[in-house]
Amino acid sequence: MNLERAKFILIIAFACLNLFLGYHLFWPDFGRLTQVAVSAEDLRQLDLLLNQNNYYLENSIDRSVQTGIFMTVSTSLEFRRQVLLKFLQEGAQFSNTEDGTYYRKDDKTAIIQSTGLITVIYTPPIETDENLAELEQRELRSYIEHFLREQHLMPEGAVFDYLEATETGEVILRYYQAVDDCPVFAGHLRVTTEEASIKSVEIYWLNPIESEPSREMEVITAAAALANFVRDMGPSTEPQFITDVSLGYFSGEYDAEKWEIPPVWRILLQEGQIYYINAFTGNIEQESVIPEQLP
């Protein structure tokens, strides 16, 4: 037998075996991650549905197949202690009311609600050496984030989201909490400014406890979430522009030891309205629904 030919046949056989094993070991997951769930025709039909109901998609949406799991969370006691310790070290006086616990020091007050929501109010507002309303977004963010770090009010994992301008002339900087690079919209930081002053800071931060990969399930597509949104909201009387559709996590603010939050598609409109579509059920999430507290 030709030795060189035998070697060549063995090499080809081993290569085919490796391809066969690699396909069965890795292809199911690889295919799921790269598979396109929303076709070009699906997008065309979605645009038609949106436009017929006076909604207009400003940016592209994720077209891939994605999966999600429930996340178990609690309010972040560590960050709350950090904020309160700073106030107490400065000599703040505290009192308990039905609305929460108040920590007062000179011109600032921290209100801690039972849900873990922290609101710091400056009375009068803190005057700044810059007219914040005239700053570019990047400069404004840099200025505010420096202020937050000085005040020990910048939690780890805060990611800038967007600016909101109110009818009263205020500008609100909004941040969300990121856990392993995944948006957790339930955790948020909001800073309210007005011209050359900072009026308040609101923080609701969560502590992720656990997630169960064994409960991973495929979620509905971004296109399906938008279609469900239109179905539930109905036609808009005025043109509504959808600026962002992102997958993350959301729940309301709850007075519970721990609870589960589902993956959601967040739909953000140009005027600042936000809607959350449960990525498992396709239903709009309601902040007023109180989840069952986990044991």
Structural contact between residues 62 and 245, judged by C-beta atoms closer than 8 angstroms: yes
Question: 114-150: per-residue pLDDT in tens?
Answer: 999 999 999 999 999 889 988 999 999 999 999 999 9
The structure tokens listed for 189 are: 């930081």
Phi, psi of 266 (to 5 degrees): -95, 125
CA triplet 178, 180, 183: central angle to 5 degrees?
30
The structure tokens listed for 243 are: 């600026």
Taking residues 263-267, report their average pLDDT: 96
The CATH homologous superfamily of the domain defined by 75-207: YycH protein, domain 2 (3.30.310.160)
Q: List C-alpha distances in Å: 255 to 84, 227, 283, 293.
A: 19, 33, 24, 9
Q: Strand 240-249 vs strand 55-57: parallel, antiparallel, or unpaired?
A: parallel
The structure tokens listed for 213 are: 């990969």
How many angstroms separate the CA atoms of 185 and 67, rounded? 18
The structure tokens listed for 128 are: 């700044």
Q: Is the pTM of this model over 0.85?
A: no
Q: Closest Cα partner for 178 from 163, 160, 193?
A: 160
What is the structure's pLDDT at 16?
57
**pLDDT band at residue 292, thresholds of 50, 70 and 90?**
very low
CB neighbours (10 Å) of residue 206?
26
Q: In the chain, which residues fall in CATH 2.40.128?
A: 36-70+212-295
- 17 Cβ neighbours under 8 A, 6+ residues apart: none
**pLDDT band at residue 207, thresholds of 50, 70 and 90?**
very high
Question: 161-183: per-residue pLDDT in tens?
Answer: 999 988 888 999 999 999 989 99
Pick among 3.20.14, 2.40.128, 1.10.3470, 3.40.50: CATH of 36-70+212-295: 2.40.128
- What type of residue is 198? I
CA triplet 230, 263, 251: central angle to 5 degrees?
90
Match 């840099």 to its residue by tokens. 142
Q: Closest Cα partner for 90 from 78, 102, 104?
A: 104
Q: In the chain, which residues fall in CATH 3.30.310.160?
A: 75-207
**pLDDT band at residue 23, thresholds of 50, 70 and 90?**
very low
The structure tokens listed for 236 are: 């808009």
